[in-house]
Structure 1
């Protein structure tokens, strides 16, 4: 049985998640993905990394990052994480804690002392519980599971330094591994960045553990995924215009 199924009974949650999935499915039919899918995926990955770094308080212009002129270690860590996701997809459901440690090594190199890379600063019991939820879970719908993975990690912040980058990457890994976004096109980070006050507020609401707090977060997550679907369309339009 799906341990998270009761969350779908919260008001407006199931329709919001279903609507987000429909928008992603529509975006996945964009003409650019037929011949230029790799280019769209690379651009989505870049935008996701830039947005994730910005959410950690390190905002940079996309074109400056694209030009290679930004050396900020948090931004560089977010780029390493984005590049490394593909190699961690299969390991994620088998060894979540190992993957989280690897994500932190990628994200925090040059930001925290080497001895702290990949090491939890606290919350080991909650991480164990989250790992149990991830490992071998084929019951929870991908969007719901990704939302909870993200919320648990963003509120717990179990690693030193840019723990938010790790949280957002873990959620992306969940969507990719569970087949919701097998090509890594859904830059949910962009959706969080475009709704940053709501992102911060709903994460805080989730941390209260109340039904209204959980509902607030899940509705935000659906909205962020919907915005990420629109971003696929914008990227695809741009790619077609350039060829």
Structure 2
């Protein structure tokens, strides 16, 4: 059985970047088995990430991004087993007040095949690191439609859900979206390069996502490098 995500995880530079990102997350969550993280700390990190993500799309998405952040940990429990339901709920939270009520929970997709591919990607077994799964899911959701729909916010939330569900960030204390915002216009450029489907474009996107996790760890309210 083929495992395309595992193949992507072996692209040049990806293993070391993923290892570095995981190490940065583990520094924040040192002694994760015993360390208790107050709910308000997770809430503060999720709010910061939501605000950063919304700022990348436009102010109209801020209320929805904040709403979505309050359920992100619960949705993370569904994202690999029942992703269609998780995406529908996430879209309903995010898009309330921005799209018609009839459209809530219906993730717009220019190509329904791509949406089906996202669902299959999230449920398929793989030997790839969770960060690679999260990065590819992020890009695929972001590319479901050319404009509108808050796909960027939804995509970054899906990425974080995978990281939470997989145990990379089980307490949702990494401010990953800030890592995406920090690169400015390069975020869109790397996503466009991913969309070409070239090995270099895909590799560079995964490397960017790994760096976003590292940056998000540094900004964690648990103290990042100082933890």
Give me the whole-angstrom Cα distance separating, in 2, the residues matched to 1:140 and 1:237: 29
TM-score, structure 1 length as denominator?
0.83
Kept in 2: contact 1:119–1:159 (CA 8 A): no
Query: What residue in structure 2 maps to residue 79 of structure 1?
Result: 66
TM superposition shift of 1:193: 1.0
1:97 to 52, 64, 84: 84
**Using the alignment, how far apart are the partners of 1:76 and 1:157 within structure 2?**
21
Q: Distance in 2 between matches of 1:174 and 1:36?
A: 19
Q: 1:52 maps to which residue?
A: 53
Which residues in structure 2 correspond to 1:147-166 (within 5 Å)?
A: 147-157=135-145, 160-166=148-154
Inter-CA distance 50–30: structure 2 relative to 1 (3 Å threshold): farther
In the alignment, is residue 146 of structure 1 matched against residue 147 of structure 2?
no
Confirm or deny that 1:116 pairs with 2:103. Answer: yes
Identify if the C-alpha distance between structure 1 residues 22 and 36 changes in structure 2 by more than 3 Å, giving closer, same or farther.
Answer: closer
Q: Does 1:182 align with 2:170?
A: yes
Report how many aligned residue pairs link the two structures: 222
5 Å matches for 1:1-243?
2-29=3-30, 34=35, 37-58=38-59, 73-122=60-109, 123-135=111-123, 137=125, 139-157=127-145, 160-232=148-220, 235-237=221-223
Q: CA deviation at 1:188?
A: 0.9
Contact 1:121/1:158 (CA < 8 Å) preserved in 2?
A: no
1:196 Cα offset (Å): 2.3
Check conservation: 1:120, 1:159, Cα contact below 8 A.
no
Counterpart-to-counterpart distance in 2, 1:84 and 1:19: 28
Moved more, 99-108 or 158-167: 158-167
Structure 1 gaps, min length 5: 59-72
Stretch deviating more after TM superposition (176-185 or 33-42): 33-42
Provide the C-alpha distance between the structure 2 equivalents of 1:94 and 1:138, rounded to a whole number of angstroms: 14
Contact 1:80 1:106 in 2 (8 A): yes
| Distance of 1:131 and 1:78 partners within structure 2 | 22
Question: CA shift at 1:158, angstroms?
Answer: 8.1
* Conserved 8 A contact 2:91-2:107: no
